[in-house]
Amino acid sequence: MKIALVSDWFVPRLGGIELQMRDLALALKARGHAVRVICGVAGEREVEGIAVDRLSGPRLPGFGIAVTPGVFAELRGRIVEGGYDVVHIHCGNVAPIAHHAMQVCIRQRIPAVATFHSVLKYYDLPLMALDALHGYSRSALRFTAVSTVAGAALRPLVKDRPVAAIANGIDLAWWARPAGDPDAPRSGPIEFVSVTRLQKRKRARWLARAFAAAVRDLPADSARLTIVGDGDEMAAIRAIVARAGMADRIVLTGREEREAIRVRLHAADAFVLASRLEAFGIAALEARASGLPVITMAQSGARDFLRHGEDALLAGDDTELADQIRALIEDGDLRARLTMAARRPAIGVDWSAVAPLYAAEYREAIAAIA
């Protein structure tokens, strides 16, 4: 098939959508499909052998979002004149390029699949307006979401249309621990790792507070939290750490490359994340694939691939999050049991399983237009 992957975002900008699109393009190419990316981010015209059409034109200052008619006119031309068998559109929280691509495909009767990567929990009125104006729920578009949580939030847009929950894909073999890596407990403090963008909705401030509450009356060498990531919340989190007297227990590293993150995960004892509106939790899945038990929020889309009390602890609120961190530090048997389960490979999330699911959606989209 000749496939266009369309989104507002793509590398070199880094985030969940960008890396998932790149990895999906590589997985589809490896299966013999012709893939081209159309995006709204400046950069190279080829990324790891993937052809990229980068839409030109001004963006909203400070946000990078397309707002001018010329961008959308170029997008329409790229889609209509591209001769694609199917267009696969990737949509985040605020995604004018993605939504315009969906509207073009609806009007031109071009086979299309729309994947939603965010939990649009507070967008009911805008979603209902989009459906009323453009007929999403009455169209031949195929809808998917990266989790059941993200899919449930789409109801104002798609009404009773089916939304397939297709997990984000990863390379399980790449993230897995080296053969022969010992299962025995490590000496020293219990090492917690979190990998996240330092933005308010990711709730790293609340994570720092929960960890501080969990370890406040424990020996200084009992546990340590390393937060990997960067963003506009960095200064606020540093201030929280300083006020709590946790500078020796909570370490902020800034952004790291995938290879460095893998090394850090392989050296850790547990992964922790505090975001509630997590559509999927790719960082949590990468940690799980690295053999780490995960502590995260029960509202997160990560609940689709994690099991509370088996390979993870899912917290209902921040108090429970702190309690679970504390329990994992103090209860060696709990830690060993969760770790043993996490060392077993996750099911249905390797690209060998995920790419065929998207290919099946593409065929259904083509059949719906025929």
Q: Are residues 55 and 150 in the same domain?
A: yes
Domain that holds residue 325: 172-342
Instruction: Tally the C-alpha atoms within 13 A of residue 210's C-alpha that lie toward its C-beta.
Output: 27
Number of domain units in the chain: 2
Q: Are residues 112 and 219 in the same domain?
A: no
CATH number, domain containing residue 72: 3.40.50.2000
Q: Are residues 293 and 355 in the same domain?
A: no
State phi, psi for 39 to the nearest 5 degrees.
-145, 170
> Cα–chain-centroid distance for residue 282?
4
Q: Are residues 140 and 34 in the same domain?
A: yes
Q: Are residues 238 and 338 in the same domain?
A: yes
The average confidence (pLDDT) of the chain is 95
Mean pLDDT over 122-128 rounds to 93
Per-residue pLDDT at 184: 52
Q: What is the pLDDT of residues 192-220, one digit of tens each?
A: 999 999 999 999 999 999 999 999 999 98
Mean pLDDT over 179-191 rounds to 73
| HEC-encoded secondary structure of 156-198 | HHHCCCCEEECCCCECHHHHCCCCCCCCCCCCCCEEEEEECCC
Which one has a higher pLDDT value, 178 or 97?
A: 97
> How far apart, in Å, do the first and last CA atoms of the chain sit?
15
**Cβ atoms of 302 and 284 closer than 8 Å:** yes
Would you place residue 6 in the very low, low, confident or very high pLDDT band (cuts 50, 70, 90)?
Answer: very high
Q: Are residues 26 and 70 in the same domain?
A: yes
Reply yes or no on whether the pLDDT at 147 is more than 60. Answer: yes
Q: Are residues 270 and 322 in the same domain?
A: yes
**What's the chain's Rg over C-alpha atoms?**
21
Q: Are residues 157 and 292 in the same domain?
A: no
C-alpha dist (Å) from residue 290 to 18, 312, 327, 351: 22, 13, 21, 16
**Cβ atoms of 295 and 313 closer than 8 Å:** yes
Q: Are residues 263 and 165 in the same domain?
A: no
Q: Are residues 141 and 246 in the same domain?
A: no
